[in-house]
């Protein structure tokens, strides 16, 4: 109730700077609405207009988002949202993920006879939800943004509506996702009950002013929020939904989920932890509990993800489990963020790098997928390198990057994460991490074995590589190698983003 009293009229109007900060959000929203109109415009074939409008929207919003900020953070809507370097950094990731998902879906949707304009609109709405998530400072806004994103993605997962697997995945994801959202919301309610506010900064302030009010209700609320997020990022033991959903969803959607969705969940997670004072704000008891929970989850996630991925023969499933493993490395970055000098920067940089290389890999999977997302087993890749040397090369770069082999971005990012873990004195966890990533080398290399060292079975189908997918792959390769060879700029960006928290 305190919040309501503090509302002043001048806070309800937007100043010029605030408007500037909000421009990327408005652009995405406007572009998406325009695409909706275009998709039902009578007598117009919506395929090209919608594709162009959504792509252009992403590019313009990315440009606005990366150029508008002056480095200072602007609080918006009476402290419900904030536009800072951190949200800018993530907005670029989300919009990039959306843009390249759209690029890689264009031909795919034609091939699968799914070319409906809703697809692009949903991708854009999901991206908008992600952008709001990364900049929200209020648990309720976070929830709304999360739902905006999740609802769009539920539909996208089930987009191949005549396919049973896709339907099953959508249903599974919907039910489990809703449960997780409910948990998150319940947690927010309990936090509100304990502290009288849903705004993260006020919660922290309240806790600092009334340390005696740290009661079990708050603890329970915080735990529920934590579990909600661990579910969204699919860390063990909340990972069960993920492989099935990733396998059932259309390939480009899976790519979008592993990059955008995961990045959004992590971005919000880190913001909540950092703003709630993980590291310096709240009492040591909570600190230690939090640390222990994350420690166990992190270790299990790295081990389980990598070991189960070993046994997968379907590439989509393999990358799903590898995605779980990468969640583990990300958690490691967050866990050690409080006690290392680099702070959360390694984790944040890892999110970006993971998004780039994983998106690249999924664009290539999209190209490889035959009708109905079949032919994505390891042996279907036999001899791909003979027919498509560049495609195989690109795939190898992405996989080697995920395995953390220099000079790729994956190595630079992993280096930073493990480095900050050593600084934070998490040596056992770092050792578990590197050893499990040695395990991961096996399954990544196995793909290379099939592509380069096995003879093709029969005559491999000639893939038609569309210009748009080619562009997406080239961009991701560029990022993967550029960040790998000269990571300094990216480290700087990540540092600046984290400093603004």
Q: Which residues bind another protein (CB under 8 A)?
A: 342, 400, 405-407, 411, 415-416, 418-419, 421-423, 427, 430-431, 434-435, 437-438, 441-442, 445-446, 448-449, 452-454, 486-488, 491-492, 495
Nearer to another protein, 279 or 406 (CB): 406
Consecutive H or E run containing 83? strand 81-83
Assigned token pair, 237: 């033991």
Query: Quick one: three-class SS letters along 252-281?
Result: HHHHHHHHHHHHHHHHHHHHHHHHCCCCCC
Among 476, 235, 449, CA closest to 366? 476
Nearer to another protein, 59 or 448 (CB): 448
Helices within 369-425 (DSSP H only):
384-387, 389-403, 409-423
Helices within 164-283 (DSSP H only):
164-195, 200-209, 216-232, 241-248, 251-256, 262-275
Nearer to another protein, 37 or 431 (CB): 431
Other Cβ atoms within 10 Å of 34 Cβ, number: 17
8 A C-beta contact, residue 199 and residue 154: no
Nearer to another protein, 143 or 418 (CB): 418
DSSP SS3 for 476: helix
Q: In angstroms, what is the minimal distance from the CB of 478 to another protein?
A: 17
Assigned token pair, 127: 């991206």
Nearer to another protein, 77 or 415 (CB): 415
Q: In angstroms, what is the minimal distance from the CB of 361 to another protein?
A: 17
Query: How many angstroms separate the first and last alpha carbons of the chain?
Result: 26
Q: In angstroms, what is the minimal distance from the CB of 305 to another protein?
A: 17
Nearer to another protein, 153 or 421 (CB): 421
The CA-based diameter of the chain, rounded to the nearest angstrom, is 74
Q: In angstroms, what is the minimal distance from the CB of 310 to another protein?
A: 12
Nearer to another protein, 83 or 421 (CB): 421
8 A C-beta contact, residue 436 and residue 325: yes
Among 268, 14, 234, 262, CA closest to 132? 268
CA–CA separation, 73 and 99 (whole Å): 26
Assigned token pair, 172: 């599974």
Nearer to another protein, 3 or 441 (CB): 441
Consecutive H or E run containing 326? helix 315-337
Q: In angstroms, what is the minimal distance from the CB of 432 to another protein?
A: 11
Nearer to another protein, 218 or 418 (CB): 418
Nearer to another protein, 148 or 430 (CB): 430
Query: How far is the CA of 274 from the CAs of 125, 269, 278, 347, 383, in angstroms?
Result: 27, 8, 5, 13, 48
């Amino acid at each position: 109730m305190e919040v309501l009293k503090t509302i002043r009229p001048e806070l309800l109007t937007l100043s010029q700077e605030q408007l500037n900060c909000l421009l990327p959000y408005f652009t995405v929203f406007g572009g998406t609405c325009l695409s909706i109109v275009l998709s039902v415009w009578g007598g117009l074939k919506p395929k090209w207009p919608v594709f162009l409008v959504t792509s252009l929207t992403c590019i313009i919003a990315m440009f606005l988002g990366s150029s508008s900020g002056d480095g200072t953070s602007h609080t918006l809507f009476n402290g419900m949202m904030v536009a800072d370097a951190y949200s800018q950094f993530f907005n670029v990731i989300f919009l990039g993920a959306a843009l390249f998902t759209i690029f890689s879906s264009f031909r795919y949707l034609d091939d699968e006879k799914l070319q409906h304009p809703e697809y692009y609109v949903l991708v854009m709405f999901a991206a908008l939800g992600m952008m709001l998530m990364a900049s929200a400072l209020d648990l309720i806004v976070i929830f709304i943004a999360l739902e905006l994103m999740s609802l769009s993605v539920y539909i996208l997962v089930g987009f191949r509506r005549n396919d049973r697997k896709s339907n099953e995945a959508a249903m599974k994801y919907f039910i489990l996702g809703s449960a997780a959202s409910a948990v998150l919301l319940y947690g927010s309610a309990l936090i509100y009950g304990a502290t009288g506010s849903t705004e993260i900064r006020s919660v922290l302030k309240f806790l600092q002013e009334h340390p005696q009010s740290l009661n079990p209700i708050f603890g329970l609320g915080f735990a529920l929020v934590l579990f909600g997020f661990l579910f969204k990022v699919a860390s063990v033991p909340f990972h069960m939904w993920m492989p099935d959903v990733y396998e059932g969803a259309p390939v480009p959607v899976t790519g979008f989920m592993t990059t955008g969705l995961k990045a959004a969940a992590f971005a919000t997670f880190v913001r909540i932890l950092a703003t709630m004072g993980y590291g310096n704000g709240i009492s040591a008891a909570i600190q230690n509990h939090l640390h222990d929970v994350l420690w166990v989850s992190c270790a299990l996630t790295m081990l389980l993800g990598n070991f189960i991925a070993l046994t997968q023969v379907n590439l989509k499933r393999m990358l799903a489990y590898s995605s779980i493993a990468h969640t583990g490395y990300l958690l490691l970055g967050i866990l050690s963020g409080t006690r290392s000098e680099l702070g959360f920067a390694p984790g944040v940089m890892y999110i970006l790098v993971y998004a780039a290389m994983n998106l690249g890999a999924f664009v290539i999977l999209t190209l490889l997928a035959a009708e109905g997302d079949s032919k994505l087993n390891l042996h279907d890749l036999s001899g791909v390198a003979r027919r498509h040397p560049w495609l195989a090369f690109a795939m190898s770069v992405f996989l080697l990057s995920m395995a953390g082999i220099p000079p790729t971005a994956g190595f630079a990012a992993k280096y930073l994460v493990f480095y900050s873990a050593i600084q934070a004195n998490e040596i056992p966890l770092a050792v578990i991490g590197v050893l499990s990533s040695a395990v991961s080398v096996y399954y990544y290399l196995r793909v290379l074995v099939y592509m380069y060292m096995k003879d093709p079975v029969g005559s491999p189908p000639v893939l038609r590589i569309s210009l748009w997918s080619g562009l997406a792959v080239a961009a991701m390769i560029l990022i993967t190698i550029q960040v790998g060879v000269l990571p300094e700029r990216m480290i700087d960006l990540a540092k600046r983003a984290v400093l603004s928290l």
